[in-house]
Amino acid sequence: MEYRRLGNTGLQVSALSFGTWVTFGHQITDDVAERLMITAYEGGVNFFDNAEAYASGKSEIVMGNILKKINWDRSTYIVSSKVFWGGQKPNQKGLMRKHVFEACNAALKRIQVDYLDLFFCHRPDINTPISETVLAMNTLLQQGKIMYWGTSEWTAQQITEAHYWAERYKLVGPVMEQPQYNMFARESLEKDYLPLYKTFGLGTTIWSPLASGLLTGKYIDTPPAADSRLGLENMAWLKDRTLAELDKAEKVKQLKKLADEVGVTLTNLSLCWCLKNPNVSTVILGASKEAQLAENLKAFDSMDKLNDAVMKKIEDILQNKPMILQF
């Protein structure tokens, strides 16, 4: 396993990390969840990603029970939560001071830890001044309840505004962002955030590196199995979004052909492609089965196969490199 600095912080995060969206507390049993965490940890993963919204809090409860049972040394792992979707009633959703505090305290109880290493604003909240969220996050930092705070799916402008307020108040701004990043979702990480890496030393913890399984190639000519994410009844919206675009299906076929020529699985080609971007601090893996995670954790073995020539061939297939204007 390779460890990377989380942006400009001193924190060392495993370049492959492990998250629980859809799976923990929902798609898989608690026993499978435990085995997945052990497989990840034994494979060198030190960062486990979670959120108050995942399975409406159950995902954090499952992870907390596992952490308590296994009793790994707290200094050997990093755990996160995210605040935004806490419930339906007013003040249960958003980034107002009240919900930021309540979400953090509830996550600490569910995960059964004294502090969260990373605490993310899961989405921007247009109804709360960014300055209020910056202040609330800094209070949590000072209380020792969180170690670092960051954002997810914020625009570059919103992240910049958070830093503006932090600087003005002599406080700490967001140090990491969690964007979607994979071969089909490139704009934010490769273009929009470009000025932020140098200016603020922003780190990134990227999600859906396999586009919810599409980039494993398993949906080429095969409809989603009932026990896979895209086959789950309540994920029909994601299935439509992921499989609808025909040109994506065609590109996946071509990528699979290239992966076969290079001698790697398409899954690992896709993961290595993410890992090769120096602005990626960690690639958050998801898995519903141990065999999947075992395969994904081997991604580093294939890194040197993605040489410049192969990267160029991938670019030729994708045809979606964000255009960056130079003035």
Per rule CB under 6 A, is residue 212 in the interface with ligand NDP?
Answer: yes
Structure tokens at 65: 């029970």
Please provide residue 215's backbone torsions phi and psi, each rounded to the nearest 5 degrees: -85, 15
Write the secondary structure of the chain as one string of H (helix), E (strand) and C (coil): CCEEECCCCCCEEECEEEECCCHHHHHCCHHHHHHHHHHHHHCCCCEEECCCCHHHHHHHHHHHHHHHHHCCCHHHCEEEEEECECCCCCCCECCCHHHHHHHHHHHHHHHCCCCEEEEEECCCCCCCCHHHHHHHHHHHHHCCCEEEEEECCCCHHHHHHHHHHHHHCCCCCCCEECCECECCECHHHHHHCHHHHHHHCCEEEEECCCHHHHHHCCCCCCCCCCCCHHHCHHHHHHHHHHHCCHHHHHHHHHHHHHHHHHCCCHHHHHHHHHHCCCCCCEEEECCCCHHHHHHHHCHHHHHHHCCHHHHHHHHHHHCCCCCCCCC
Does residue 290 touch ligand NDP according to CB under 6 A?
A: no
Please report how close the Cβ of residue 46 comes to ligand NDP at its closest, in angstroms.
15
User: In this chain, which of 7, 19, 25, 174 binds ligand NDP, going by CB under 6 A?
Assistant: 19
> Which residue number, 39 or 171, has a Cβ lying nearer to ligand NDP?
39
Span 55-114, contacts to ligand NDP by CB under 6 A: none
**The dihedral formed by the CA atoms of 61, 63, 68 and 70, expressed in degrees to the nearest 10:** 150
Position among 210, 243, 280, 297 found at the interface with ligand NDP (CB under 6 A): 210
Q: Does 23 bind ligand NDP (CB under 6 A)?
A: yes
77 a catalytic residue: no
The span from the CA of 40 to the CA of 266, in Å, is 20
Taking the complex as a whole, how short is the minimal distance between the CB of residue 292 and ligand NDP, in angstroms? Answer: 4
Of 19-27, 195-203, 247-255, 273-281, the window that binds ligand NDP (rule: CB under 6 A) is: 19-27
Q: For residues 229 and 248, which CB has a smaller minimum distance to ligand NDP in the complex?
A: 229
CB of 285 to ligand NDP, least distance (A): 6
Cβ closer to ligand NDP: 164 or 277? 277
Which residue among 133, 178, 188, 302 contacts ligand NDP (CB under 6 A)?
178
**Nearest distance, CB of residue 180 and ligand NDP, angstroms:** 7
Stretch in the footprint of ligand NDP (CB under 6 A) among 39-47, 274-282, 286-294, 313-321: 286-294
The residue annotated as part of the active site, out of 3, 41, 54, 169, is 54
> Could you identify the residue written with the tokens 């009633």?
89
284 touches ligand NDP by CB under 6 A: yes
Q: How far is the CB of 17 from ligand NDP (least distance, A)?
A: 8
Contact pattern for ligand NDP over residues 217 through 256, marking x by CB under 6 A:
-x---------xx---------------------------
Binding site for ligand NDP (CB under 6 A): 19-21, 23, 49, 122, 152-153, 178, 207-213, 216, 218, 228-229, 267, 284-288, 292, 295-296
Residues identified as active-site: 54
